């Protein structure tokens, strides 16, 4: 049975699941979640899709999983890919996935939303500035980790890479410029060079162009 990923193109959290699905060779299809129409905030969505009221959600027969990091682990279970070559690497990958959820995607996803998808008169300037300060520290940590390395952990692409890159390919301004971070820039090019790589707006349904 084809797995279904509930997702939408603007969501870097959904991209963190869609990208390894796409690269894994597993059989899947995208189901568009109408986030901007309020679908994830409905009682029906919480009751039937995800009690956390979020995307992405992966449905595989009777199995239903939310949280991109948990979906990544499931893709690894099914494909045998992207979790490093031993328990030590697997633990390192988990550290970076958790760090990303807390310090990187957890903050730059929100900041991009506030700066681009809220009406201009509703954008909280102090919150945006505060988050951008935190993000400088996060980008600095990631850039330092990538020095002399092609991938965050080990010798090939893993869930750590797919997690941390979640929001970094998007064109909307949110205080991140690849040119400022040479190691991150080189690593993002490595990801883009993977066979089958697609940009989030090409991999999942929905983009700002649809609402323009």
Interface with a second copy by CB under 8 A: which range of 4-12, 24-32, 121-129, 182-190?
A: 121-129
Q: How many residues bind to a second copy according to rule CB under 8 A?
A: 34
Does the N-terminal peptide bond of residue 56 adopt cis geometry, omega within 30 degrees of 0? yes
Structure-block tokens of residue 24: 């894994």
Largest Cα–Cα distance of the chain, in whole Å? 50
Contact with a second copy (CB under 8 A) among 85, 86, 130, 155:
130
From 190, 149, 145, 184, select the one nearest 167 (Cα to Cα): 184
CA distance 96 to 153: 9
Contact with a second copy (CB under 8 A) among 27, 51, 172, 210:
51
| Cβ 126 to a second copy shortest distance, Å | 4
CA geometry: angle at 176 spanning 139 and 102, to 5°? 45
Structure-block tokens of residue 134: 């935190």
Identity of the residue, 102 or 211, whose beta carbon is nearer to a second copy in the bound complex: 102
Identity of the residue, 7 or 73, whose beta carbon is nearer to a second copy in the bound complex: 73
Which residues contact residue 34 at a Cβ distance below 8 angstroms, ignoring those fewer than 6 apart?
Answer: 8
Tell me how far CA of residue 14 lies from CA of 85, 144, 192, in angstroms.
25, 26, 17
CA distance 161 to 153: 8
Contact with a second copy (CB under 8 A) among 17, 30, 73, 184:
73
Structure-block tokens of residue 159: 């869930």
Assess 124 for contact with a second copy (CB under 8 A).
yes
Identity of the residue, 69 or 154, whose beta carbon is nearer to a second copy in the bound complex: 69
Interface with a second copy by CB under 8 A: which range of 2-10, 18-26, 92-100, 167-175?
A: 92-100
Contact with a second copy (CB under 8 A) among 22, 66, 83, 111:
66
Residues forming contacts to a second copy in the complex (CB under 8 A) are 46, 51-53, 63, 65-70, 73-74, 88, 91, 94-95, 97-99, 101-103, 105-106, 124-127, 130, 137, 141, 144-145
């Amino acid at each position: 049975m084809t797995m279904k990923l509930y997702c939408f193109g603007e969501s870097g959290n959904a991209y963190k699941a869609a990208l390894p699905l796409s690269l894994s060779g597993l059989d899947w299809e995208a189901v568009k979640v109408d986030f901007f129409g309020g679908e994830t905030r409905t009682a029906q969505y919480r009751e039937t899709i995800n009690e956390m009221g979020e995307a992405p959600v992966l449905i595989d027969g009777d199995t239903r999983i939310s949280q991109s990091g948990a979906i990544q682990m499931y893709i690894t279970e099914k494909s045998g890919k992207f979790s490093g070559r031993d328990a030590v690497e697997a633990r390192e990958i988990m550290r970076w996935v958790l760090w990303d959820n807390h310090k990187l995607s957890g903050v730059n996803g929100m900041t991009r939303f506030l700066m681009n998808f809220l009406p201009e008169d509703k954008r909280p300037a102090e919150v945006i500035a505060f988050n951008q300060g935190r993000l400088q520290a996060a980008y600095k940590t990631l850039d330092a980790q990538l020095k002399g390395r092609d991938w965050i952990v080990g010798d090939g692409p893993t869930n750590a890479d797919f997690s941390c890159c979640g929001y970094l390919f998007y064109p909307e301004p949110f205080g991140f410029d690849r040119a400022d971070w040479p190691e991150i820039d080189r690593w993002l090019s490595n990801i883009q060079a993977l066979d089958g790589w697609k940009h989030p707006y090409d991999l999942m349904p929905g983009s700002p162009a649809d609402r323009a």
